[in-house]
Structure 1
Amino acid sequence: MERGRYGRNASGGGLMTALGSSLFTHLGLRPSEMRRLPPRIAKLMEQEEERSERAISWVQLTLTVTFAALYSLAPRPVDASMISEPVPWALGIYFIFTLLRLALSYRGWLPGWFLMLSMLADVILLYSLLWAFHTSYGQPPSFSLRVPTFTHIFIFIAVRALRFDPRFVLTQGLLAFFGWVALVVLAIDEMGPTSITRSFVAYMSGNGILIGAEADKLISIIAVTAILGATLYRARLTLLTAVREGVASRDMRRYFGAGVADAITARRTAAMAGEAEARDAAILMLDLRGFTPFASLRGTAKTVEVLTRYHSLVIPIIEEHGGVIDKFLGDGAMATFGAVSPSPTAAADALAALCAVMEVGPAWCRSLEDEDCPVLPIHGAVVAGPVVAATVGTERRLEFTVIGSAVNLAAKLEKHNKVAGTQALTTADTYALACKQGFHAREGIPLAPTEVAGVAEPLHLVRLG
């Protein structure tokens, strides 16, 4: 038996056991496509259906109040004195039932048998009121078959469309269909076979029962039910696709970062390997100094736990300053500013992010000391310059990355921190550009022309305090 949204026990207790695989049961089970979904996507669908059931309850409550208001305000027919007033009682009982349904929908407890009971209540309420008309007005049973209020059954069928599950519309339509068949049979039984007429004039002007007219009503019920059911079937497939894509989009943001994911989903055409675009961007490289020996001495669990905490510390800072994580390099991280989408303040934002990371560095080291762990200082470097934002890979596996001398130099400067005994470095050109763009978070300290491994010419570097 399945548990969860479709009942604490999908069988619905003793009543469900007795009924076996009846209509009561089929509404308590997940649709076949739901059972094939991954559990987390199925959970999202269940949450949507719970919201749908609450919406249905509110609509039913609104309809009940509306009908009650119209009944109390509408002028009475001249022969209203003949009516025995069943309407207030029926509406009152249905109002209480609808309140109960609304309360249970917010508790998430609406098993199949209760949903069936709710649909039965809709049909019984309306058809009972219709049947009461002929006794209230002192007319033969055929009188009840002509009451215009019959059209309200289409409202009850349409309400079920608020839930993206055609089974509920089909079930409500079948109940309406067989309920009307029962009323016609009951009317013929009470009036006798002679009540059946083939004359439309006699039907319209007398008390005869025209089978063709009742068949038209039944055909209308089936047609509306079938059309709504087919529409909902297509809508449900669309909803399932939307839920899957929504989950995939959220996952993509977690793997690639919001900036890259947004750029991918906003494209007019599918991404292709080899696509490239030049950008003026800034590259930020971060690294935990001493992490490799730390990982060799600590267990896997502790190593991953420290690394996760480190990423949880620096990633929000980078994103707050407009950066996009391009990739994780073990204990290092590469972030881009202005590469995914152009930015007039890329250099300033990157340096501001680096300074913000440096400000939390001491607290990070103290937290490791408190755990008797080796101190792992955070080192970083920023370089701004022209880069190429490219989509690389194959048709089956793509990756967005940034290529250019600024990327290579940022990686070299980050490593140069160890040689220079610094924690945060940038080039003089990057620092000057950032200042023009509004950077003023921390004053830079110029260094003498410095040779950096892998760079042919000495560089003018700036140490960030």
Structure 2
Amino acid sequence: MMKSTLWAFLFGKPVNAHLPERVQTAIEQQQRDSEKLIGWVQLLLVTIFASLYALAPTSAITKGFHPVPWALGLYFLFTFARLGLSYRIALPHWFLTVSVIADIGLLMVLIWSFHIQYMQPASFYLKAPTMIYVFIFISLRSLRFDPRYILIAGGAAAIGWLSLALYVIWSEGGQSMITRDYVTYLTSNSILIGAEIDKIIAIVLVSGVLAIAVLRAKRSFIRAITDEIAAKDLSRFVSPEIAARITRSEHQIKPGEGDAVIATVMFTDIEGFTTMSETLSPKELATVLNEYFSQTSAVIDRFDGVITQFEGDAMLITFNAITPDPDHASNAVRTALAIQEISHSHIFCHGAKIKTRCGINTGEIIVGAIGAENRLTFTVHGDNVNVAARLEQLNKQYGSYILATEETLRACGNHHNRSDWTTCGDVIVRGRATPTPVFRIVAPS
């Protein structure tokens, strides 16, 4: 228990070992993009190396073999080829491992060649500032969010620098150049063993710290990717507007929390849905409903409505409840008329003709979460919501397809031709004691 707690403290909370394929695919794509970025940065580095070498004054011999240009040229070709491959294929792990070792190896060869290039003792290259690039090459691997390659790069760099130091010590005259005087070390080609050990320790420590940081970041990244995919999946079951309102809330939404707003509510229901269910197979019925909801959802979106709830073939649609809409009543009526147009003009699969009844009401409603602490539904409720639901059912009594209250008619203002509205008188809506003036809206022919 204590060990697992310590590991979680160091490396972060463990993630599920069996990730869904979609999560693995998203992570692999991020890794591929990271390899491209690493390739471009390394190409920039080798270009900087070459530029500095070309511009810097040199005391090198003018004739004979010059190893630095060869090392730079070889590294440029290797980096360019790997960058090209990263755009064509997902680089396998063995190739990446070899590539990381080759990066460090070529850098070490480049550093080693300095004493030949400048005709100095081998200890000369141990003081080369190019050694700083070792840390850049190690840190580059952190872009991939995979600590293995950081450790491989750090291990290769530590072994490489140890080899360079041993080469100096055991080369001709190497032993005589060892000193314990720091000033002598800095002002001559002498070797200070402690200084080289410090460099190796620094390489190891930097690699270890980066690996831990990247492992923690990788676990957080995997959880973030998993949550993002889950959120995208869940957003197909919850309207994007509701999802955005929940995720942008300043605090965790609790049961019973809600806001009172003046909005327009519309209930829709398919006429004769029971009969349709009896004549079609379950699979055929699902296909028809999917096509129907696809058509109606497009219309609802066009007029800034939000599908707050599906219930079988019925929909609860709100205007100005989730997203601001100053013309909410008028847009609700436009939506209902557009749905009627679909009912008249569109023949759905399996030859289905679908007629939709709509009930519309405008007034104050409550927008918020209801349910238990661990199971919430974000919806709208209140007396005016119930009125809209009752109006949808009253369409059966009046033989109509769109019924609206006087409040909706008044809120529409001059946006609709009043001649399209026919009064149905005052109706006692079930659940209300006082009569409600109701109007039938006739779609223009």
Using the size of structure 2 for normalisation, the TM-score is 0.88
Counterpart in the other structure of 1:299: 281
**Aligned AA (1:110):** L
Equivalent residue for 1:70, pick from 46, 52, 62:
52
1:421 maps onto 2:403 in alignment: no
Matches within 5 A, 1:232-247: 232-247=214-229
Matches within 5 A, 1:25-174: 33=15, 35-72=17-54, 74-79=55-60, 81=62, 84-174=65-155
Equivalent residue for 1:446, pick from 401, 419, 422:
422
Counterpart in the other structure of 2:248: 266
Work out whether residues 416 and 452 of structure 1, in 8 Å CA contact, stay in contact via their aligned partners in 2. no
Unaligned runs of 5+ in 1: 1-31
1:400 maps onto 2:403 in alignment: no
Report SS of the residue matched to 1:384: strand
**Aligned AA (2:425):** P
Counterpart in the other structure of 1:187: 168
Work out whether residues 269 and 358 of structure 2, in 8 Å CA contact, stay in contact via their aligned partners in 1. yes
Distance of 1:177 and 1:458 partners within structure 2: 84
Report SS of the residue matched to 2:58: coil
Counterpart in the other structure of 2:193: 211
Q: How many Å apart are 1:171 and its aligned residue?
A: 1.6
Counterpart in the other structure of 1:346: 328
Distance of 1:357 and 1:237 partners within structure 2: 48
Work out whether residues 355 and 442 of structure 1, in 8 Å CA contact, stay in contact via their aligned partners in 2. no
Work out whether residues 299 and 335 of structure 2, in 8 Å CA contact, stay in contact via their aligned partners in 1. yes
Moved more, 165-174 or 175-184: 165-174
1:199 maps onto 2:181 in alignment: yes
Counterpart in the other structure of 2:413: 435
For residues 335-381 of structure 1, the C-alpha deviation after alignment (integer angstroms, 9 at most, x for no partner) is 111222454322122222222222222233x234xx3x342212222
Work out whether residues 161 and 232 of structure 1, in 8 Å CA contact, stay in contact via their aligned partners in 2. yes
Report SS of the residue matched to 1:459: strand
Counterpart in the other structure of 1:26: none
* Paired positions, count: 427
Work out whether residues 146 and 218 of structure 2, in 8 Å CA contact, stay in contact via their aligned partners in 1. yes
1:461 maps onto 2:444 in alignment: no
Work out whether residues 446 and 461 of structure 1, in 8 Å CA contact, stay in contact via their aligned partners in 2. yes
**Aligned AA (1:165):** D
Q: 1:441 to 1:328 in 2, by over 3 A?
A: farther
For residues 126-168 of structure 1, the C-alpha deviation after alignment (integer angstroms, 9 at most, x for no partner) is 1111111222222222222222211111111121121222222
**Aligned AA (2:265):** I
Distance of 2:68 and 2:16 partners within structure 1: 41
Unaligned runs of 5+ in 2: 1-13
Q: 1:246 to 1:443 in 2, by over 3 A?
A: farther
**Aligned AA (1:447):** T
Distance of 2:391 and 2:321 partners within structure 1: 20
Matches within 5 A, 1:251-262: 251-262=233-244
Q: Give percent identity, aligned residues only.
A: 36
**Aligned AA (1:400):** F
Distance of 1:442 and 1:152 partners within structure 2: 78
Q: How many Å apart are 1:79 and its aligned residue?
A: 4.3
Using the size of structure 1 for normalisation, the TM-score is 0.85
Moved more, 231-240 or 282-291: 231-240
Moved more, 352-361 or 275-284: 352-361
**Aligned AA (1:351):** V
Counterpart in the other structure of 1:386: 364
Q: How many Å apart are 1:441 and its aligned residue?
A: 8.8
Distance of 1:182 and 1:219 partners within structure 2: 14
Q: 1:170 to 1:143 in 2, by over 3 A?
A: same
**Aligned AA (1:288):** I
Report SS of the residue matched to 1:460: strand
**Aligned AA (1:362):** H
Work out whether residues 325 and 333 of structure 1, in 8 Å CA contact, stay in contact via their aligned partners in 2. yes
**Aligned AA (1:261):** A
Report SS of the residue matched to 2:370: strand
Matches within 5 A, 1:3-18: none
Distance of 2:284 and 2:290 partners within structure 1: 10
Q: CA RMSD in A?
A: 2.4
Moved more, 240-249 or 292-301: 240-249
